[in-house]
A and B are shown apart, each in its own frame.
Chain A
């Protein structure tokens, strides 16, 4: 890394004058102005084409007259006009219908003409691209930082060796620290790829070790790219990556296929080919003396083919031993496309250093993913944990409370167009709506079923399907949008690997707030005290003057209300449909059961376990989230075998049954 700027400085002294002269105010001198050079290439400039533009550009570069960059820019933008009478080129300004011609060298207005007296030069898009590439060195020193950045983007997209020098020279004069850093990076990448001086190149490659950006990795991957090769002996002078052992690195079938595709061996005869050949030689209902109806086994077909072979009617085919011999006679290897072994060795070293850093970042990314999934599960399940854990009531309609919360958010957005304000209104409103629904459900249904927990499950399931269908009737079957405000729509990006969307951060924060809030309510308030008392011993609590009915009602309302808020949060990143609740209900139950019933910490532990586990399994097989869910559920089933009361099990009298 360190040697690159000094190299740049060295090269800069050679070419600095020429480049700086571009920026100098134009001095119009007839003999060293741009116009004479342009006149040398009059025809090519006036009628530019892909085949001639390179010649013009190299001529202009070689002459290196002031104003070249300006001219190229204008040429590219169709801002150059030719006067047919004398063939001179001008810039022009539009004045109404007329054009004011401007002298290219002096910048002075020359004449006003109608647009018919001059012809506008219109390079096609192919020519414009070539001009743009030639402009890059000029653009790198452009006074406007946006233009400099665009030039850097262009180099990053398609770099080549010719850009190394202008890039290193432009670093010297760069004033913007961010752009300067970017230029140095790009220079390292270009040097690693294209530099002709080996020491600089190796140093640059070394500098890329541990760089996890996509560009750096793709450069290293390009440098270490391999092509398969095969021959009777290893070629001399080639940069061999590795020799493949038949049977371990490469199967015999693959090896023979390579021989065939390299025209080193005859193709193997497939069963289909043999059948087709046999079908062409049917004589009197038999092939090679074997009757047709017997040809339904491989052995019989082989016999028939051998008979034909013996008679000389068909060519001999590659038998198994021939295949083995051919494979044994050849050596299979991989060659680097980069011929220099020092370069590839350095690149391999850099890559392996990078892969360590990469693994670290990927783990971090996985942890973040797991954390965000865990907070979603926590949000979805915490309401359930209260009703199920504290009251022992199974609420199958919990998912529908989540859905109600999400639809509340949607309806609020219909009336309040500002997304931030609507979110601020929707969160408490969702709580109020689902709190009300929860209290109503407790009063009307659950209260009558306290002694029959399994029937609570079924009754709340009835409510669940009714609510789901009701939502479908009101809002339709298609997904409704619940749009996040702008400040939530971005993502926190650490580098190319680690990034997390703001919504997920917000959900994580929301989960933390809920955790703190619930702990506060349960441990520090009168209501929490009474809830815990009723949980542990309803009879004793009642005799101490606590009204269990009221507490149960409030607890159920609280649990449902939290589900409503969770619904708004989930709706922000998932789709709001009538079935969204059903997608979370089984997971939520498992979160509560795995974590341990009747404990906020238990739910947290359950959500973390399930969230991290699912992401972890997904990591092994990223394309298949279904498999991840399947294995996670299997794990949970097994887990419950060994800890039936969950991770955080209540002990003593509070454990109940």
Chain B
């Protein structure tokens, strides 16, 4: 029984050397950052830089998911950041609740009579929701006291949303551009909903202080940042492996066929809708996991994060990196998001033209926009396409 399980795996890795290359590069990168980091090594990379790199790995993971759903299955979803944000919210609820609980219990322990559970809960609620003028814990937060339950929420809530939304959309054969607009409407509705103060997630204040992990107060941020960096790298590696395996087999052939000619696949007897629904839901769950790892490093999440523009940027990363190849998505996400923070963070030197000084914080988006048009027009295969030239035509 054991041989048929092992055999296809060997064949899979042997047939896809790029997966091994990628995992190797990722491992080397992780090792390099660890050695250079403040927490465990030479302190050449600051803690905030480690956090940025860890967040970038999370963005790479959602880009891989986006590549699978768009590049392989042809569904241009403009709403995957909604799942990313929901994952962040789900883990953020526990982080915020548990941390506030710690603070509240400590402050109440000074009172002569020990507090009851109801008193503790009320104090937590007014701590968290005082900012939106409420002191009741909404029903939404029913599981927030338990890390296990909330971790389940990370997967279940976005998964269910994707399942229901996808089922509705695919069942009525909404395809192409219409589906893109529909997914965009979904993420817009979600962000507008969360912007309201009375929805139980603190309105536009969002959830904050997520970088402080409850129970790990004694661990310095320099070490914590590395832990999250490792977790992100691990998640990216695993996600990459799973998706690479998924798209390499027969399943992968079917979804690529759906991308190329949906009607023909249907005529061949495949249940196109189920395949699409499965891909949509699976990528949504992976996006949510990426979000759950991202926001503890970012420290704050608010509804602006899941505005439609974020999901469009996601599509831009994948397109620049190169659709239909997983490492392309990783490269696109890493290059564009890091370049973005480099340019807008004032890292790039200004260019003095004599009559006008180009200040990159102002002009980066113009460059990105035009560069993106150029990539779409002239390099439809993206940066990943360059690898083809190197590998296939030495």
Contacts and interface: CB of A to CB of B under 8 A. Distances in A.
A298 B118 contact: yes
A396 B313 CA distance: 13
Contacts of A637: 165, 168, 182, 185-186, 189
Interface string B343-367: 0000000000000000000111110
A89 to B, nearest CB: 61
Interface string A114-157: 00000000000000000000000000000000000000000000
B185 A633 contact: yes
Smallest CB-CB A-B distances: 4 pairs: A466-B369, A462-B372, A469-B365, A633-B189
B172 interface: yes
A445 B372 CA distance: 11
Interface stretch (B25-33, B227-235, B240-248, B373-381): B373-381
Interface of A: 271, 275, 278-279, 282, 287, 292-293, 295-298, 301, 394, 396, 445, 448-449, 452-455, 457-459, 461-470, 472-473, 582, 586, 589-590, 593, 624, 626-627, 629-630, 633-634, 636-638, 640-642, 644, 657
Central interface residue in A297, A582, A589, by most chain B CB within 10 Å? A589
B71 to A, nearest CB: 11
Interface string B284-324: 00000000000000000000000011001001100100000
Given A445-B373, A465-B369, A586-B184, A630 B113 contact: no
Given A470-B366, A633-B185, A633-B192, A459 B373 contact: yes
Contacts of B118: 271, 298
A630 B192 contact: yes
B134 interface: no
B178 A295 contact: no
A444 to B, nearest CB: 9
A296 B109 CA distance: 11
B113 A278 contact: yes
B363 A295 contact: no
Given A458-B316, A470-B366, A644-B174, A301 B185 contact: no
Contacts of B58: none
A466 B195 contact: no
A282 B119 contact: no
A630 B189 contact: yes
B181 interface: yes
Contact of A644 (B173, B195, B380): B173
B-side interface mostly = helix
A448 B378 CA distance: 10
A462 B376 contact: yes
Contacts of B43: none
B185 A287 contact: no
A297 B116 contact: yes
B53 interface: no
Contact of B111 (A279, A298, A454, A638): A279
Chain B contact-residue range equals 35 or more
Contacts of A271: 116, 118-119
Interface string B166-188: 00110111101110111011101
Contacts of B371: 462
B370 interface: yes
B114 interface: yes
Contacts of A455: 319, 376, 380
Nearest to A467: B369
Nearest to B111: A279
A201 to B, nearest CB: 45
Contacts of A394: 177, 180
Contact of B377 (A445, A593, A644): A445
Contact of B113 (A287, A624, A634): A287
B316 to A, nearest CB: 7
B348 to A, nearest CB: 15
Contacts of A448: 377
Contacts of A644: 172-174, 178
Given A297-B116, A624-B196, A590 B185 contact: yes
Contacts of A590: 181, 185
A68 B281 CA distance: 88
B115 interface: yes
